[in-house]
Amino acid sequence: MAYETINVTEMSPACGAIIEGIDLSQDLTNRQFDEIHEALLDRTVIVFRDQDLTPDQQVAFARRFGEPQPAAVSGFEKSKDNPEIDILEYDVENPPHVTRDLWHTDFAGTERPTMGTVLYAKDIPPRGGDTVRVNMAAAYEALSDRMRAHLEGLEAYHDSNQPYGVHVRPEMYEADKGTDHLLEERKHYIPALHPVIRTHPVTGKKGLFVNESMTAFIKDMDRRESDFLLRYLFDYLRTPEFQYRHKWKTNDLAVWDNRLSLHYALFDYTDHRLMHRIVIQGAVPHA
Ligand code: OGA
Ligand code: MN
């Protein structure tokens, strides 16, 4: 599709684009939305600069992509008026290293991982707090034929308690943090089983679908084989050529396709950083 209503600047060969020429506070025409959607599929992550949106307007835009996940259990505080919005807020009192980000795919530890995420930068520190994203289809395509054949048909367990578990983040489980619901969830939680090579439901492209944060082990493999293979993949997925690192400005709005991507939020700042996040419901991944 040739873009007629938006201006798309590609940010790295693997992924990322800055989109200009559009005001997301307005109702979008179908043509405008189709072009935005096309850019998202093509670039994995797209960022709109200088957006001035109310929470309702952010929700309305997010809804063009699908239904927001209801009451997503995330440990993040919810916006009072718009429960679809997670408030990600850090500063010197509540520094981001407390959450120790790792490479991850949103909600991969659930049966239906998030389809996409709409993240609005309300306040960005003068330096630090970039986000890196990885195109997992590009990573898959760069594997050798032999490695692709080896991975074909494998499935892996994704465990949300790995990054959010009491062993890793005890501070999240202090009663006064209001995270009792996380403890309650843990009691009933079963790790999700997903294909290691996932086919994107819209583009038909294949990509890797493992992440360092949550992917715990590969089914039907000896523990040592699984650890060895996953360690290799996690290391491989750090290859800079598969990435786009976004340096945020206040009023940027990013959308990423969570179906074949990883991201990592740097925690190299203590100045105030405030993001409003909406996650869109996804489907069961298939091979
Ligand atoms: C997220 C996330 C990245 C960031 O919103 O899912 O990982 O840069 N945030 O805040
Ligand atoms: Mn995330």
Give residue-wise pLDDT tens across range 50-82: 999 999 999 999 999 999 997 656 668 888 899
- In a domain? residue 165: yes
- In a domain? residue 286: no
Of the candidates 255, 254, 275, 269, the residue with the CA atom closest to the CA atom of residue 121: 275
Output the pLDDT for position 44: 98
**Using an 8 Å Cβ cutoff, are 123 and 272 in contact?**
yes
| Residues whose beta carbon lies within 6 Å of some atom of ligand 1 | 88, 106, 117, 119, 131, 263, 265, 275, 277
Residue range 222-274, pLDDT digits in tens: 999 999 999 999 999 999 999 999 999 999 999 999 999 999 999 999 999 99
Output the pLDDT for position 95: 85
CA of 20 to the centre of ligand 1 (A): 22
- 106 catalytic per annotation: yes
Instruction: Centre a 10 Å sphere on the Cβ of residue 79 and count the other Cβ atoms it contains.
Output: 17
CA of 30 to the centre of ligand 2 (A): 28
User: d(Cα 257, Cα 203) in Å, to the nearest integer?
Assistant: 11
Alpha-carbon radius of gyration of the chain: 18
- In a domain? residue 237: yes
User: d(Cα 128, Cα 11) in Å, to the nearest integer?
Assistant: 19
- In a domain? residue 287: no
Of the candidates 253, 10, 234, 19, the residue with the CA atom closest to the CA atom of residue 131: 253
- 188 catalytic per annotation: no
Residue 5 has what DSSP assignment?
A: S
Pull the structure tokens for residue 171: 């501070």
Total structural domains in the chain?
A: 1
Structural domain of residue 83, as residue ranges?
7-280
Residue 230 has what DSSP assignment?
A: H
End-to-end CA, the chain: 27
- Of the residues 86, 106, 252, 257, only one is catalytic, namely 106
Output the pLDDT for position 102: 84
Residue 198 sits in a domain whose CATH number is 3.60.130.10
Output the pLDDT for position 41: 98
Which residue, chain included where needed, has tokens 């997010």? 62
Nearest CA to ligand 1 atom 4: 265
CA of 265 to the centre of ligand 1 (A): 6
Output the pLDDT for position 185: 72
User: d(Cα 58, Cα 61) in Å, to the nearest integer?
Assistant: 5
pTM recorded for the entire structure = 0.94
- In a domain? residue 1: no
- In a domain? residue 114: yes
Residue 110 has what DSSP assignment?
A: S
Query: Dihedral (C-alpha) 91, 97, 102, 108: value to the nearest 10 degrees?
Result: -60
Residue 63 has what DSSP assignment?
A: H
CA of 185 to the centre of ligand 2 (A): 19
- Of the residues 37, 43, 104, 246, only one is catalytic, namely 104
- In a domain? residue 2: no
Nearest CA to ligand 1 atom 9: 265
Per-position pLDDT tens, the chain of length 287: 799 999 999 999 999 999 999 999 999 999 999 999 999 999 999 999 999 999 999 999 999 999 999 765 666 888 889 999 999 999 999 888 655 668 999 999 999 999 999 999 999 999 999 999 999 999 999 999 999 999 999 999 999 888 766 655 666 666 556 567 667 777 788 899 999 999 999 999 999 999 999 999 999 999 999 999 999 999 999 999 999 999 999 999 999 999 999 999 999 999 999 999 999 999 999 99
Atom of ligand 1 nearest to the CA of 248: 8
- In a domain? residue 112: yes
Say how many residues make up the chain. Answer: 287
